[in-house]
Amino acid sequence: MFHNVFGKRETVLRLSSGDTIITSTADAHGFDSQMREVAQRPNPLTGPFFVDGAQPGDTLAVDLEKITPNRREGWSSNSIDPSIVDPSFAGALPEKEYVQWQVDAKGRRLILRDQGWKHARLQLPMEPMLGCIGVAPKEGQLLSSMTSAEHGGNMDWRGCREGTRVYLPVFEEGALLYIGDGHAVQSDGEIGGTGVEISMTVRLSVHLLKQKKITWPRAEDSICIYTIGNARPLFQALQHATTEMIRWLADEFQLDTISASILMSQCVRYELANVFDPAYSAVCKLEKTYLSNSGVLD
Amino acid sequence: MFHNVFGKRETVLRLSSGDTIITSTADAHGFDSQMREVAQRPNPLTGPFFVDGAQPGDTLAVDLEKITPNRREGWSSNSIDPSIVDPSFAGALPEKEYVQWQVDAKGRRLILRDQGWKHARLQLPMEPMLGCIGVAPKEGQLLSSMTSAEHGGNMDWRGCREGTRVYLPVFEEGALLYIGDGHAVQSDGEIGGTGVEISMTVRLSVHLLKQKKITWPRAEDSICIYTIGNARPLFQALQHATTEMIRWLADEFQLDTISASILMSQCVRYELANVFDPAYSAVCKLEKTYLSNSGVLD
Amino acid sequence: MFHNVFGKRETVLRLSSGDTIITSTADAHGFDSQMREVAQRPNPLTGPFFVDGAQPGDTLAVDLEKITPNRREGWSSNSIDPSIVDPSFAGALPEKEYVQWQVDAKGRRLILRDQGWKHARLQLPMEPMLGCIGVAPKEGQLLSSMTSAEHGGNMDWRGCREGTRVYLPVFEEGALLYIGDGHAVQSDGEIGGTGVEISMTVRLSVHLLKQKKITWPRAEDSICIYTIGNARPLFQALQHATTEMIRWLADEFQLDTISASILMSQCVRYELANVFDPAYSAVCKLEKTYLSNSGVLD
Amino acid sequence: MFHNVFGKRETVLRLSSGDTIITSTADAHGFDSQMREVAQRPNPLTGPFFVDGAQPGDTLAVDLEKITPNRREGWSSNSIDPSIVDPSFAGALPEKEYVQWQVDAKGRRLILRDQGWKHARLQLPMEPMLGCIGVAPKEGQLLSSMTSAEHGGNMDWRGCREGTRVYLPVFEEGALLYIGDGHAVQSDGEIGGTGVEISMTVRLSVHLLKQKKITWPRAEDSICIYTIGNARPLFQALQHATTEMIRWLADEFQLDTISASILMSQCVRYELANVFDPAYSAVCKLEKTYLSNSGVLD
């Protein structure tokens, strides 16, 4: 069972806080590990997973423990999207076609098959990630798996990889978690409109944070904390992410607005997750070293 | 002699391609290494340096060899700029004031003096950079040292640091290089509207690339190549940088548009240099490893 | 029965092409003609009306024949939204409160009650319109009555007034028409975030255009044809509307792209419907005189 | 003598407040009434006119009394600019070429010559206007005649026509007024990148308003008052214009911010002057009837 919207749909599995699951995702065109077409385009989602006890106003933490391509073939676009270059240059871009990549699982590399590439061989390191992760959106909406908003969605953020914990605001009973749209690798911005699209085996665990309210998705890994804004224009996505970081520093690190401003004005970094989807995704990040008691913030 | 515009002004020094100079910059408010007010706000520029033989259609390469704060005191804003948060949050930001930082040159650290900071002590690693670097702009314009365009300018890019070579398109005879606006450290985006502002001693060398035409500033260091777009909205800056990267891959690395698209769609990263100045600056970057003959692109 | 989303919901009435109905709308806060709270915020919608025979790929034409405030009291915001002024000016705006307006139905005027207005009396001519008109959106989504997209929605366009025919693309069987959010008057852009909000009695008729495919909402009245783009940023809304106008001139007026370009480049006008909602709405319009056989286009 | 920048250049004529002049402008490619190439591209400017006594902080009012095409031939682009349509549609636009128009001065009409137009004959009513009007910009800059800012410039606003008074903020001694870039007609937005470009004879008078400080250009005619914001993105141009209207209502009509908000939220209209030039121009307007003592604001 796959869905092409985030929102209230029949539960596929009930989870309790702390549970770990192993599941799989089809690729963005609906093909699974056996290259069978098992779901409809675009971006079929695995889920929803109902988390017992989750209520609007809570936060769902999702630990991405393992994200592994489960077949040998991925595909990507051969062209940067025309929206992402100067309008006067758009005409010089190729007609969009798909190119194929072979997975060298052992070497954790992707090898471009020969179409359209003038050089002998292009090999890239694999960096598996999930393009889609989200819960049911606010206001009873059903939102397409092509877009993103406060609930997460198709953020196409490279940071949704092994070792990352993603925090999502809960808007519906049970949260209703969905995942999908695995990429074996992807640029910042997903400027081709695709990563190397592939089906995945995913192990994740969920943790319910009761009465913990966040406005936009947050994340952390061993190095950084992250806030994610999803909107157009790009600058608005950045405003959302920046504002959410101020809130986070207040919520959990006891920094008033001046202190957060002083720190952030010298130390934040931004990542552009996607600049292709109907909502763009910008990420504000801060190294945890600035938040520890080890002589920096003490 | 300082200037507050980029453009045709009386030359301070004539250089030949290959020359190295050591010079200094005043801080953004016009104060020098002795805390004397030697120049007018905003962003007084050191220059212009006339490069013999430079003609429109050439490119000027500037190697930033050494950028060193030359005094013990820097200053920064205490507030994120209201334009960079959600409009509904802007009212919660502090009134803009300046806070002072002490330079620990030996430890290469900055220590916040106590105003406005609720915690005992904030120390940040120093990462000196130049907010302003540019040549005379196109079409005979004089453009304020607050903004940026094809000629460079106030890009406030963290990458303008030691070890970076910056490439600027030449629009006027002699190129007319200016530098200024040193920051001891700065976030991505310069979201406070300032870095830690300080006067600098700068060693740089210039190299003239005759009949080498570029459209937007480029740069490289030992790890990456970079293209920089300067514009509002942010997305347009990104379009300029992305388009210039396609051009660079064609110019010097023999990648046709399809090959460049395939590579860039999986491998580029973006940096947001500034999202505060009248023109925002977005940077597209690509690791050199993808451009070498060492098994990746061969 | 009211809804706060556009999409598949239980039909309130089945219509055939050509049918006329008289119905009513609650105001944006859910109050009806008797000032009873009959529906939930925000923007409760009347509908859906199922149009027999409507299939994806068809177009639904809706003639707005009569839009009449059906009570004596309306309300509006007392403040321009902070997003719509310079960020540095946002702090000078008042705290948002509501002010009341009295309807002089006979004189077709609105009279501001005295709160917050320093002058003796403000009277405005009434120009009743519907903020919300739309059908079920594409891709099986349920979209909030706060936003708009290809299906119409909360476009807050002053042109949704008596005498206008609105064309909407059909995405679901039966089209599923909804209306709501009446304004007795409203600025361009809905810059206060509200018009003068009021419940309405509405007479409209529907006409099904089989196998007539449009991409964005269109409209016409006795003077002009209109195309409407809904998106952020504002410029993208304008791109959608402009592109749809080129398509319309090709579809129905036999103008190739060059001819459409020549005509539009000298003759189109734009209206800004809203610059407040999650998607902004821009309108491209062209006087019918340029499309007639009367000596202009012949 | 023509210039391609706004800023400090040698004065062509000194005027006193109240003086009227009759002058002429070359077309955007530098051709005059005799079709002689008398100036360089782009947008050669007539001026600067030095206004005695004008100082930074004053306002210069310019009455556009007469704007008359002074030859029989105009030209325009045959294509909407690719930046103004959906990126995916840009490839369908024609290669940019110029088409010619004949001036029927008596009938005040423009007649398209046959190139590229599939229909028998396109005639448009003439609405002569000036694309460029401005003074020397702030901060000692020289700004290209292709762009606009606080000083005016290439705003390409249809409202710069006979009967309009334009107000410009003075940044340099003498104000240094320039005009140019006449259009016999033009769409909203100048979406083709040109109007019908033609040389003009212009009669205007200047009036100096001492110690009257405005931030952005303003204008008025017999019907409306107007404020003009020049910036990218479009939304920022609109923010500037909206904010300047609030200031104007405070300055001269004694409306506090709440009163201005209430009035503007129901009554302002917007015009898009240009969405093509490096800075876009948005116009906020308000009918004078709302500002009179005749029962509306009393």
pLDDT tens string C37-87: 999 999 999 999 999 999 999 999 999 999 999 999 999 999 999 999 999
Q: Is C234 on the interface with D (CB under 8 A)?
A: yes
Contacts of D143 in chain B (CB under 8 A): 141, 143
User: C293 pLDDT exceeds 70?
Assistant: no
Enter the tokens of residue D289.
């009837």
Q: Among A159, A180, A209, where does a domain finish?
A: A209
Residue B296 has pLDDT above 60, yes or no: no
Confidence bin at D263 (pLDDT 50/70/90): very high
Predicted pLDDT at D298: 40
Q: Quick one: B130 and B229 in the same domain?
A: no
Residues B13 and B32 in one domain: yes
Residue A90 in contact with partner chain C when CB distance is under 8 A = no
Q: State yes or no: pLDDT of C298 exceeds 60.
A: no
Q: Is residue C192 part of a domain?
A: yes
D209, D233, D253: which is the final residue of a domain? D209
Q: In the predicted model, is pLDDT for residue D51 greater than 80?
A: yes
Answer yes or no: is pLDDT of D295 > 50. no
In this complex, do A141 and C141 lie within 8 Å of one another by their Cβ atoms?
yes
Q: Which of A144, A232, A233 sits opposite C139 (nearest CB)?
A: A144
Q: Which of residues 107-126 of D touch C (CB under 8 A)?
A: 110, 112, 116-124
Claim to verify: residue D13 and residue D33 sit in the same structural domain: yes
A202 and A244 in a single domain? The answer is no
pLDDT of residue B119: 61
Checking if the pLDDT of A296 tops 60, the result is no
Whether residue C168 is predicted with pLDDT greater than 90 in this model: the reply is yes
How far apart (Å, rounded) are the C-alpha atoms in residues D241 and D3?
28
Q: What is the model's pLDDT at position D74?
A: 97
CB contact, 8 Å: A87 with chain D? yes
Q: For residues A16 and A157, state if they share a domain.
A: yes
Residue D115 pLDDT greater than 80, yes or no? no
Tell me which chain A residues have a C-beta less than 8 angstroms from the C-beta of B119: 255, 259, 297-298
pLDDT of D293 above 80? no
Span B147-175, mean pLDDT? 98
**Confidence band of C296 (pLDDT split at 50, 70, 90):** very low
Counting residues of chain A whose pLDDT is more than 70, the rounded percentage is 96
Q: Which residue of D has its CA nearest to C276?
A: D235
Which of A79, A83, A280 to probe by mutation at the D interface, max D CB count within 10 Å? A83
Query: Which of the residues A2, A6, A139 would you substitute to probe the C interface, choosing the one with the greatest number of C C-beta atoms within 10 Å?
Result: A139
Same domain, D264 and D135: no
Task: Using an 8 Å CB-CB cutoff, list chain A residues near B188.
Answer: 268-270
Q: Using CB atoms, which chains have 3+ pairs under 8 A with C? A: A, B, D
Residues D246 and D287 in one domain: yes
Task: Work out the percent of chain C whose per-residue pLDDT is above 70.
Answer: 96
Q: What is the pLDDT at residue A297?
A: 45
In a domain, D105, yes or no: no
Distance CA(A118)–CA(A115), nearest Å, equals 8
Cβ-based contacts of A114 with chain B (< 8 Å): none
Q: Is residue A84 part of a domain?
A: no
- Model confidence pLDDT, tens digit, residues A187-228: 999 999 999 999 999 999 999 999 999 999 999 999 999 999
Check residue C1 and give its pLDDT.
77
Q: Does B5 touch chain D (CB under 8 A)?
A: yes
- Are C140 and A4 in contact (CB < 8 Å)? yes
Between B118 and A202, name the one with better pLDDT: A202
Neighbours of chain A (3+ CB pairs under 8 A): B, C, D
Tell me the CATH number at B29: 2.60.120.580
- Indicate whether this complex's ipTM tops 0.90: yes
Region A75-85: what's the mean pLDDT?
96
**Model confidence at D17: pLDDT above 50:** yes
Q: Token digits for B291?
A: 């451009």
Q: What pLDDT does C295 receive? A: 39
Confidence of residue C261 (pLDDT cuts 50, 70, 90): very high
Say if residue C253 is in the same domain as residue C204.
no
- Two tokens, residue B181: 């606006």
CB atoms within 10 A of CB C92: 13
Model pLDDT, residue A113: 87
Is D102 contained in some domain? Answer: no
pLDDT in tens, A87-134: 989 989 998 999 999 999 898 999 998 765 666 578 999 999 999 999
- Is C136 in the same domain as C188? yes
**Residue D91 pLDDT level (bands cut at 50, 70, 90):** confident
> Is D120 among the domain residues?
no
Highest mean pLDDT of the ranges A87-96, B132-141, D101-110: B132-141
Same domain, B242 and B178: no
The reply to whether B18 touches chain C by the CB within 8 Å rule is: no
Structural domain of B24: 2-72+126-209
Cβ neighbours, 10 Å, residue B215:
15
B190-212 pLDDT tens trace: 999 999 999 999 999 999 999 99
pLDDT band at D117 (very low <50, low <70, confident <90, very high): low
Q: Does D231 touch chain B (CB under 8 A)?
A: yes
Segment B58-78 shows an average pLDDT of 97
pLDDT tens for each residue of D24-40:
999 999 999 999 999 99
Say if residues C197 and C149 touch (Cβ distance below 8 Å): no
Q: When comparing pLDDT for C182 and B122, which is higher?
A: C182
CB nearest to A91's CB, from D81, D90, D233: D90
Q: Which of D160, D181, D209 is the last residue of a domain?
A: D209
Would you state the pLDDT for residue D113? 86
pLDDT band at B121 (very low <50, low <70, confident <90, very high): confident
Residue among A86, A188, A243 minimizing CB distance to B243: A86
pLDDT of amino acid D292:
76
Per-residue pLDDT at B227 exceeds 60: yes
Angstrom distance (rounded) from CA B227 to CA B247: 10
Average pLDDT over residues D68-75: 97
At A247, the pLDDT band (50, 70, 90 cuts) reads very high
B91 — pLDDT class (breaks 50, 70, 90): confident
Q: Which helix (H) or strand (E) holds C179?
A: strand C175-183
pLDDT for B24 beyond 60: yes
Mark whether B22 and B160 lie in a shared domain.
yes
Do residues D198 and D226 both lie within one domain?
A: no
Q: Is residue C185, in this structure, part of any structural domain at all? A: yes
pLDDT at A294 over 60: no
CA of C74, closest CA in chain B: separation in Å?
25
> C116 to chain D: which residues are within 8 Å by CB?
258-259, 262
Q: How many domains does chain A have?
A: 2
Q: What is the pLDDT of residues B273-295, one digit of tens each?
A: 999 999 999 999 999 999 874 33
Is residue D81 predicted with pLDDT exceeding 90? yes
| Model pLDDT, residue C115 | 60
Print the SS3 string covering chain B: CEECEECCCCCCEEECCCCEEEEEECCCCCECCCCCECCCCCCCEEEEEEECCCCCCCEEEEEEEEEEECCCEEEEECCCCHHHCCHHHHHHCCCCCEEEEEEECCCCEEEECCCCCCCCCCEEECCCEEEEEECCCHHHCEEECCCEECCEEECCCCCCCCCCEEEEECCCCCCCEEEEEEECCCCCECCCCCCCECCEEEEEEEEEECCCCCCCCEEECCCEEEEEEEECCHHHHHHHHHHHHHHHHHHHHCCCHHHHHHHHHHHCEEEEEECCCCCEEEEEEEEHHHHCCCCCCC
Strands D5-6, C280-287: pairing kind: unpaired
CATH code of the domain covering residue A256: 3.10.28.20
CA distance C190 to C66: 22
Q: Label residues C55-73 b or e (16+ Cβ within 10 Å = b).
A: eeebbbbbbbbebbbbbeb
Confirm whether B233 is domain-assigned. yes
Residue B81, in any domain of the structure: no
